[in-house]
Amino acid sequence: CTTCMNCLRVCPKEVDMIKIMPAVREQAILQSKPIPDELQKVFDNVARYGNPQGESPRKRADWAKDAGVPVTILPQTKKPVDVLWYVGSYPSYHPRGKDAARAMARILHALGIDYGILGHEEKEDGDSMRLAGEKGLFEMLAEENIKTFNKYTFNKLVVTGPHEYNAFLREYPKYGGEYEVLHYTQFLAGRLDQLQPMLKKEIRATATFHDPCYLGRHNGEYDTPRKLLQAIPGLNVTE
């Protein structure tokens, strides 16, 4: 069960597995039931390093060196910004993810957005750990992240991943962390009037968007990713 919410969508009795499965997993962990080795490794890496990959926190902003545009790293500047961009673990460390992070940085720069990132102070949001039953680890991460966010002055919290969006929007307020949270597609779709004139290159292809469960079913955002795709010249977007 990935808590994708498809069962709840079609269940005539509205049995909410989204509440049941994380609770069952939490009990399994509390009772020291065996869990898969790869999942235990993720838990250990997140607890020790702040990311599932087990990478050094000092390397979290290394992708920015090759972005081709300036990237404000807040622990180095301490300055107020309009947007705090929570990059996330995958875009910070995985090669494909780092390509996406650099592309986002170039877009934000082209739009003239006053933004910053947390660099080595950024830690995993913890939503996937919570859903896998490690509620204690999630609560630790939430408390640490909220403390870090509160060190800085910003107006909007823009996130890369759907689970980060879900965590910061729905879970962190329970621990005192309330922010204006936007998924990056929402943020960019709100600036399409600026962005569209910059889209010069035609992409002659057909694309279908695969909705992330925690952006679509869980949080009701289906439109903004499609609006961005439809704005690309030459691209045929089909369901």
* pLDDT tens digits in sequence order for the chain, 239 residues long: 999 999 988 999 989 998 999 999 999 999 999 999 999 999 999 999 999 999 999 999 999 999 999 999 999 999 999 999 999 999 999 999 999 999 999 999 999 999 999 999 999 999 999 999 999 999 999 999 999 999 999 999 999 999 999 999 999 999 999 999 999 999 999 999 999 999 999 999 999 999 999 999 999 999 999 999 999 999 999 99
User: What's the token pair of residue 180?
Assistant: 């204006």
d(CA 18, CA 21): 6
Helix, strand, coil percent content, the chain, rounded in steps of 5: 50, 10, 40
Q: pTM for this structure? A: 0.95
| Residue 145: per-residue pLDDT | 98
Torsional sign, CA 35, 37, 39, 45: positive
Helix (H) or strand (E) holding 37: helix 37-49
| Residue 14: per-residue pLDDT | 87
Dihedrals phi, psi of 63, to nearest 5 degrees: -55, -30
Half-sphere exposure of 231 (CA within 13 A, CB side): 19
d(CA 204, CA 202): 6
